[in-house]
Amino acid sequence: MTASGPKADLHRYLRYAREAMLWKLDGLSEYDVRRPMTPTGTNLLGLVKHLGTVEFGYFGDTFARPYDEPLTEHDFEADPTADMWATVEQSREDIIGFFRRAWAHADATIDSLDLTAEGSVPWWSEDHRTVTLHQILVHVAAETHRHAGHADIIRELIDGVAGLVDGNDNMPTSDPTWWQQHRAKLEKTAKQAAGLC
């Protein structure tokens, strides 16, 4: 039976979002996992790298739990988006391994501290800097799910693959004809509502 309670529930939701993020990389070429799909450069591998940095920061630095991880040493002054894309030298395996090491480090922090344990987020303003593990678990779970939503859309734009997680796409149908008709209906509705037809 799965453990229940506030900490276990939050941790489970965080784990679920982590797995969803990695599933979005499955079956894609090296180009497709890296290519920028929005005007601001959002890309799948960059989202994974960013979330690894997030977990090391919030569950490491915040609670004074050191880690030895060179991929977290970004020069944000030279490039404020350094954690949002993978360099040519950083392979997909490097980034996935980094993300998994961040999970392990975060999980150890979560397992060893009470929800009421206090920490300090060095990059937050003084008046918001002191936090609890509970706040950070909520914050990181929400951020991970937010980026999993970005990954959903990016993956669908790349090759049409959509869904929640491997083995449970949570979609009403996989019939491409049905989806074309559905999209056409929505386009027509949008035009009618805007008075364009």
Let me know: does 48 contact 95? Beta carbons within 8 Å. yes
Q: Is the dihedral of CA 170, 176, 177, 182 positive or negative?
A: positive
Mean pLDDT of 150-172: 86
Mean pLDDT, the chain, as a whole number? 93
List of E strands, 30-149: 118-120, 130-132
Which single residue is written with the structure tokens 């395996």? 93
Task: Provide the pLDDT for residue 181.
Answer: 92
Mean pLDDT of 146-169: 89
Q: What is the pLDDT of residues 55-111, one digit of tens each?
A: 999 999 999 999 988 877 778 888 999 999 999 999 999 999 999 999 999 999 999
Q: Which residues pair with 119 in a beta bridge?
A: 131
Q: What is the pLDDT of residues 40-67, one digit of tens each?
A: 999 999 999 999 999 999 999 999 999 9
- Spatial distance between the Cα atoms of 119 and 64, rounded to a whole number of angstroms: 8
Mean pLDDT of 142-154: 97
Helix or strand run (H / E) with residue 53: helix 44-56
Scored b (16 or more CB within 10 A) or e, 165-182 reads beeeeeeeeeeeeeeeee
Task: List phi, psi (to 5°) of 68.
Answer: -115, 90
Q: What is the pLDDT of residues 10-32, one digit of tens each?
A: 999 999 999 999 999 999 999 99
Q: Is the pLDDT of residue 193 over 60?
A: yes
Task: Provide the pLDDT for residue 1.
Answer: 53
Task: Provide the pLDDT for residue 43.
Answer: 98
- pLDDT-based confidence at 161, cuts 50/70/90? confident
For residue 119, count CB atoms less than 10 angstroms from its CB and return exposed for 0-12, middle for 13-18, buried for 19 or more: buried
Task: Provide the pLDDT for residue 75.
Answer: 82
Residues 6+ apart with CB under 8 A from 73: none
Task: Provide the pLDDT for residue 88.
Answer: 96
Task: Provide the pLDDT for residue 4.
Answer: 83
Task: Provide the pLDDT for residue 172.
Answer: 81
Which pTM was predicted? 0.91
Let me know: does 132 contact 118? Beta carbons within 8 Å. yes
- Spatial distance between the Cα atoms of 80 and 122, rounded to a whole number of angstroms: 17
